[in-house]
């Protein structure tokens, strides 16, 4: 028998990790359509019509609404005699016209922007207006040699820094950009000292060098402890008892720092264009976008004439007027013929 399906604007990409032909993970399939995820080539997934697609469609048409893998595992699977690969029991031909379009994908994960925030900036936060503020945040204004001296010798911090969230986060970002240094001399002394202060925290990279910004972050925790002998440092810590935006070995980013000093918290990302940009040697920048397909799909099932008539009646009784062919778009049955397949 032959089933002809017309379809329009059906998506030929997937932005969920894993397969629809297997049980769902406990937390569902991971969304990999964000701009960050799409920087990884393996997350830009193209989909074509396969046997799984065809069997999913014909099962849907006869009224079986189970997932395909569920139907296949059941004892009453209707198409069990023809649904297997590398045979001629199921044939299909896809006459498609593809277009590449800019598509905006809605963010379903609740991700927040890394560089913006909601509400007003609370520049009068006690972290920046207390007696300890200049000495505390001034650690970020030390040059690298001064930083090492401060860590090893507990020198007084006199470096000047503007005491407001934007200026402080700017200093953090400057320190993150500093190039790695060799783990020798005073740097090695600093690393050994910090390892004694903070157990199970590593400051040496896999290549054996040291990233300066990790030492700046560690120095803030040292200063937090040192200043506590002279000031009440309660307001210098976040609710979790940490220094805003950083751990003992690293800066967590603009968003994690600024969220502590704004009235509206982190700003949610409501979506992003589904595209991948990459540079290919000899070609330049290549932009890949969502593929949408329109066309006609011919499905042939190698079944007896009586079975073909039964399938046709089941399709008519199920009354599926339209459906997705893969993801989104519109598809519908154009015609059904119960004539046997040609050899």
> Nearest 5°: CA angle at 71, between 69 and 72?
65
At 139, the pLDDT band (50, 70, 90 cuts) reads very high
At 116, the pLDDT band (50, 70, 90 cuts) reads low
Mean pLDDT of 59-78: 93
Mean pLDDT of 145-160: 94
Mean pLDDT of 168-187: 94
User: Residue 200 pLDDT more than 80?
Assistant: yes
User: Residue 168 pLDDT more than 90?
Assistant: yes
Mean pLDDT taken over the chain? 90
pLDDT at 117: 60
Distance CA 246, CA 80 (A): 57
Distance CA 182, CA 165 (A): 31
Distance CA 152, CA 141 (A): 17
pLDDT at 265: 66
At 107, the pLDDT band (50, 70, 90 cuts) reads low
User: Residue 146 pLDDT more than 90?
Assistant: yes
pLDDT at 342: 74
Distance CA 6, CA 58 (A): 14
Distance CA 70, CA 65 (A): 10
Mutual orientation of helices 165-176 and 212-227 as an angle, nearest 10°? 140
At 45, the pLDDT band (50, 70, 90 cuts) reads very high
Cα dihedral sign, 334-335-340-343: negative
Of the chain, the percentage scoring pLDDT greater than 90 comes to 68
User: Residue 158 pLDDT more than 80?
Assistant: yes
User: Residue 112 pLDDT more than 70?
Assistant: no
User: Residue 118 pLDDT more than 70?
Assistant: no
At 191, the pLDDT band (50, 70, 90 cuts) reads very high
At 343, the pLDDT band (50, 70, 90 cuts) reads low
User: Residue 294 pLDDT more than 70?
Assistant: yes
pLDDT at 25: 87
Lowest-pLDDT choice from 29-38, 115-124, 133-142, 224-233: 115-124
Distance CA 173, CA 167 (A): 10
CB-based contacts of 98, cutoff 8 Å, min separation 6: 12, 291, 292, 293
pLDDT at 21: 81
Mean pLDDT of 36-60: 91
How many residues appear in the chain?
Answer: 343
pLDDT at 114: 65
Mean pLDDT of 196-200: 92
User: Residue 122 pLDDT more than 80?
Assistant: no
pLDDT at 27: 83
Lowest-pLDDT choice from 78-87, 189-198, 331-340: 78-87
| Contact (CB, 8 A) for 19 and 326 | no
Three-state SS for the chain is CEEEEEEEEEECEECECCCCCCCCCCCCCCECCCCCHHHCHHHCEECCCCHHHHHHHHHHHCCCCCCHHHHHHCCCCCCCCCCCCCCCCEEEEEEEEEEEECCEEECCCCCEEEEEECCCECCCCHHHHCCCHHHHHHHHHCCHHHHHHHHHHCCCCCCCCCCCHHHHHHHHHHHHCCCCEECCCHHHHHHHHHHHHCCCCCCCCCCCEECHHHHHHHHHHHHHHHHCCCCCCHHHCCCCCCCCCEECCEECCHHHHHHHHECCCEEECCEEECEEEEEECCCEEEEEEEEEEEEEEEEEECCCHHHHHHHHHHHHHHCCCCECCCECCEEEEEEEECCCCCC
Burial class of residue 215, CB neighbours in 10 A (0-12, 13-18, 19+): buried
pLDDT at 335: 95
Lowest-pLDDT choice from 39-53, 107-121, 314-328: 107-121
């Amino acid at each position: 028998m032959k089933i002809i399906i017309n379809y329009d604007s059906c998506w030929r990409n997937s932005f969920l990790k894993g397969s629809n032909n297997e049980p769902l993970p406990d937390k569902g399939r991971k969304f990999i359509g964000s701009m960050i995820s799409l920087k990884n080539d393996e997350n830009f997934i193209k989909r074509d019509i396969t046997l799984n697609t065809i069997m999913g469609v014909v099962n849907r048409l006869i009224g079986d609404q189970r997932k395909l893998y569920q139907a296949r595992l059941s004892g009453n699977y209707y198409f069990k005699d023809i649904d297997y690969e590398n045979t001629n029991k199921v044939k299909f031909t896809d006459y498609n016209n593809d277009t590449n379009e800019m598509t905006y994908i809605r963010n379903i994960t609740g991700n927040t922007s890394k560089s913006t925030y909601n509400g007003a900036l609370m520049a009068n936060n006690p972290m920046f207006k207390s007696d300890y503020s200049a000495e505390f945040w001034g650690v970020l204004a030390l040059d690298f040699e001064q930083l090492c001296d401060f860590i090893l010798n507990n020198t007084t911090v006199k470096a000047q820094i503007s005491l407001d969230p934007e200026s402080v986060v700017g200093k953090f970002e400057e320190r993150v950009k500093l190039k790695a240094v060799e783990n020798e001399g005073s740097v090695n002394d600093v690393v050994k000292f910090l390892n004694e202060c903070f157990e199970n925290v590593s400051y040496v990279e896999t290549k054996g060098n040291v990233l300066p910004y990790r030492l700046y972050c560690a120095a803030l925790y040292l200063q937090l402890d040192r200043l506590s002998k002279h000031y009440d440092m309660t307001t210098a810590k976040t609710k979790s008892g940490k220094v805003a935006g950083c751990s003992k070995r690293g800066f967590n980013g603009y968003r994690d720092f600024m969220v502590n000093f704004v009235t509206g918290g982190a700003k949610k990302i409501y979506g992003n264009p589904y595209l991948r940009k990459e540079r290919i040697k000899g070609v330049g920048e290549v932009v890949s976008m969502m593929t949408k397909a329109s066309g006609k799909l011919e499905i042939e099932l190698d079944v007896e004439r009586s079975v073909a008539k039964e399938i046709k009646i089941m399709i008519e009784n199920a009354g599926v007027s339209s459906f997705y062919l893969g993801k989104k778009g519109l598809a519908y049955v154009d015609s059904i013929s119960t004539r046997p397949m040609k050899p």
